[in-house]
Amino acid sequence: MGKARIVRPDFGGAFPAHIAVIMDGNGRWAERRGMQRILGHREGIASVREITTECARMGVESLTLYAFSAENWKRPTLEVRTLMQLLRLFLVKERATLMENDVRLSAIGRLEELPKAALAELRRTEEQTRANQGMRLRLALSYGSRSEVADALKKVIEDARAGRLDAADVDEETLRRYLYDPATPDPDLVIRTAGEMRLSNFLLWQASYSELYVSSVCWPEFRKAELHEALRAYASRKRKFGGLDQDGRDADARARRSRRGA
């Protein structure tokens, strides 16, 4: 472990501190090639490795990957079982790469629902990478935004009943503290691959003001060049968080001046 050297191309504007990715299209990628869907997931791991390494190299602070949604349990047993095996293998095999790149791994979601063997490897990888100072890689596993909010609400009610919290004091910041990982700032950029224009129950609270970028490319083909394209698009965006950017303020001032006849 050591401080990795940050090498960041100039994308011509702002650079996101936190990127979150909906890795979609593994199945389609495989089916289009007459292959079993699971081979798409396997190839998807190569993209996970390349994107994680590239983000770490460019100095992204946090990368959140939607690896298994709360709804994915509804898939055929064999696909779920293979995905869990792939997760376990990923956690074992990628430890060295995570250490090399100074990446700290963690996870969000209803982790207690994961098979014991996968959960054990997750805990081992979290433990081994805990002291790493570089990028934070968060895997969203058995994750759903609605269950995250429901889980938070349950804890809020428990604390209110126990007198640790006054219901009158509950505001947005209070609720945020009860989410799975309140210390990680909201994503600046949410990328979705394979063309679908939806958030699919991913970080609904945290992505309120995130910039969205949809790539038509399926996840197994989403590599360094496609990531750079997303970053160029992000650099050209104007983030306003519901307020006005400088252009908006200038336009208002111009309108006021013209109303006054100036």
Interface positions with ligand FPP (CB under 6 A): 23-28, 41, 44-45, 48, 65, 67-68, 72, 86-87, 90, 139, 194, 219
Q: What tokens were used for 16?
A: 């996101």
For ligand FPP, the closer of residues 44 and 144 by Cβ is 44
What are the angstrom distances between the C-alpha of 229 and each of 5, 64, 233?
22, 18, 6
The pairing of strands 18-22 and 62-69 is parallel
User: Angle at the Cα of 79 (from 73 to 80), degrees rounded to 5?
Assistant: 35
Closest contact distance (angstroms) between CB of 232 and ligand FPP is: 24
| Catalytic member of 26, 72, 169, 181 | 72
Q: Is-catalytic flag, 24? A: yes
| Catalytic member of 24, 26, 132, 188 | 24
For ligand FPP, the closer of residues 208 and 216 by Cβ is 216
Closest contact distance (angstroms) between CB of 114 and ligand FPP is: 12
For ligand FPP, the closer of residues 56 and 156 by Cβ is 56
Distance of CA 175 to the CA centre of its chain: 20
Q: What tokens were used for 88?
A: 């376990």
By CB atoms closer than 10 A (0-12, 13-18, 19+), residue 243 is exposed
Closest contact distance (angstroms) between CB of 112 and ligand FPP is: 18
51: number of CA atoms within 13 Å, CB side?
29
Nearest Cα to 42, choosing from 28, 57, 30, 59?
A: 30
For ligand FPP, the closer of residues 77 and 246 by Cβ is 77
Nearest Cα to 114, choosing from 85, 78, 152, 148?
A: 85
Q: Which H or E element spans position 50? A: helix 37-58
For ligand FPP, the closer of residues 122 and 165 by Cβ is 122
Catalytic residues: 24, 72
